[in-house]
Amino acid sequence: MAKQFHFIAIGRAAIDLNAVEYNRPMEETKTFSKYVGGSPANIAIGASKMGLKTGFIGKLADDQHGRFIQSYLEGAGVDTQGLVTDTEGHKTGLAFTEIKSPQECSILMYRDEVADLYLYPSEVSEDYLKQADYLLISGTGLAQSPSREAILKSLLLARKNGLKIIFELDYREYTWKSAEETAIYYQLVAQQSDIIIGTRDEFDVLENHLGGDNEASVKALFKHQAELIVIKHGVEGSYAYEKNGKVTRGKAYKAKVLKTFGAGDSYAAAFITALVNGESIGTALKYGAASAAIVVSSHSSSEAMPTIEKIKALIAEQDK
């Protein structure tokens, strides 16, 4: 790495309030534990824990929750020079997690007028972006203005300054106005991204029709900037498509599932870390799957992010 950061992530950092008493409806939960949450924050935290140099651009509420997030990110080794404190009274996004059973998880979201969606384009610094090899864009930040424009600006600046762009689709229906609007911004950004990661469902969102086909999806995107596209199919594993036509399949690892939250973030953190470390696509897929298996077995999404050693141990254990 010639630059200061392997990647800078842009988007939301929020609070998860996880049910302390679980395997029941949330109505019967009396106590909640507080963790840092939000896909791009989780990925930056995870990758930092796995050894990468990461930075984060985002906006935090000027309150106790905002200060908790900032200090947690710093503790996890994520550079926070790109963090901005909200001055307009916006609050931190919240996600109350309900775990009725390992298979029945849901989230009660507080995302109205939250601080992360009020990042202004003027608050994105070209000088800061220049210090990274990759820009990681998380789809949810595109859902509303002015965060949308802040991210589009980061995209224009990244392209201008030669950063490669990783687009983690991270689709959260809650914050979007319409499926059509989502598809428009997802396509605009995907057409300018080098690496695109998402579930099959998320690629359907990008294409705005159900039941899409991987071959067709990657064919359309390879006409533009993309070099590597990862499409995840849950427990059936995932596929990495390269522009040169190569396809690699990765399997999922077994886990003692406590809840399903955090799987995608831990997958992305580990997959990207492997790539940056020069591992093969096949190995990167293993890292992603192993990391996801570890996080779904734990109570949080951020604090449970594994080290490389833990990931390697799980792969060694289950691959033998």
Amino acid at 35: Y
**Amino acid present at 115:** A
Assess 309 for contact with its own copies (CB under 8 A).
no
Residue 113 Cβ, how far from its own copies at the closest point, in Å? 5
Rounded to an integer, what distance in angstroms lies between the CA atom of residue 44 and that of residue 76? 9
Number of residues that bind its own copies (CB under 8 A): 42
Which region, judged by CB under 8 A, interacts with its own copies, from 1-9, 20-28, 77-85, 284-292?
20-28
178: its two tokens:
């319409």
The answer to whether 162 contacts its own copies (rule: CB under 8 A) is no
Query: Which amino acid makes up residue 123?
Result: E
| Binds its own copies (CB under 8 A): choice among 53, 91, 164, 286 | 91
CA-to-CA distance for 97 and 265, rounded, in angstroms? 16
Q: Which of 3, 4, 26, 233 binds its own copies (CB under 8 A)?
A: 26
Of 125, 161, 187, 318, the one binding its own copies (CB under 8 A) is 187
Smallest distance, Å, CB 312 to its own copies? 30
Please give the Cα distance from 220 to 223 (Å, whole number).
6
Question: Cα dist. 26→35, 65, 138, 203 in Å?
Answer: 17, 22, 28, 31
| Contact pick of 33, 85, 87, 280 for its own copies (by CB under 8 A) | 33
E strands within 178-319?
195-199, 228-232, 238-242, 247-250
Closest by Cα among 265, 282, 281, 289 to 46: 265
What residues between 195 and 254 interact with its own copies by CB under 8 A? none
Question: Given candidates 74, 88, 113, 236, which one binds its own copies under the rule CB under 8 A?
Answer: 113
Smallest distance from its own copies to CB 26, Å: 4
Kindly identify the residues of this chain, within the stretch 122-161, that bind its own copies according to CB under 8 A.
Answer: 122, 145-146, 149, 152-153, 156
Shortest distance, CB of residue 117 to its own copies, whole angstroms?
12
The least CB distance from residue 268 to its own copies, in Å, is 25
Residue 142 is given by DSSP the state G
In whole angstroms, give the CA distance from residue 250 to residue 153.
Answer: 34
* Sole binder of its own copies in the list 3, 32, 257, 318 (CB under 8 A): 32
Q: How far apart are CA 130 and CA 120, in angstroms?
A: 19
Given the complex with its own copies, which of 145 and 280 has the nearer CB atom? Answer: 145
| Minimum gap (Å) between residue 287 Cβ and its own copies | 30
Note whether 112 binds its own copies by CB under 8 A: yes
On the CB side of 198, CA atoms within 13 Å amount to: 27
| 71 sits near its own copies (criterion: CB under 8 A) | yes
75: contact with its own copies by CB under 8 A: no
Q: What is the largest CA-CA distance in the chain?
A: 55
Which candidate, 122, 108, 16, 110, places its Cα nearest to that of 59?
122
Question: Is residue 101 a contact partner of residue 129, using CB atoms and an 8 Å limit?
Answer: no
Residues that bind its own copies in the complex, under the rule CB under 8 A: 17, 20, 25-27, 29-34, 63-65, 67-68, 71, 91, 94, 96, 98, 108, 110, 112-113, 120-122, 145-146, 149, 152-153, 156, 177-178, 180-181, 184-185, 187-188
